[in-house]
Structure 1
Amino acid sequence: MTGHTCSRAGCRRDATWRIDWRNPKIHDAARRKTWIACDDHVDYLRDFLAARSFPLEVGPLEVSA
């Protein structure tokens, strides 16, 4: 258990993925937002952002102890 809940609305599962993204229409390259996702929703959230042509990076969520 990571203690970090998936960003997908209504999901209560532990997040295992990190999605860093930005909206280039309103944020410069230095401004990034982060969503975290469980295994079931990482593709959904990534596809949601990609459909809007938002630059994004997906990687494992690293939680320090």
Structure 2
Amino acid sequence: MTEFIDSIGYSVVDAGTLADSWRQATGTPVWGTPYGPYSNEKGQPVGRDAIRAALATATR
């Protein structure tokens, strides 16, 4: 699965443990935001660094 996702221009990022899964819940910085505005249905690929940065800025 990782190879397919990489092949279409997206990056696979290990987001941590199940206990840290709240960092990628609805409304957090990584939830769609790095991919562009919601008005763009196709979005845009972003790199691992952008995803890691968004995960790091999440707050409960």
More helix per residue: 2
TM (normalized to structure 1)?
0.25
TM (normalized to structure 2)?
0.26
More strand per residue: 1
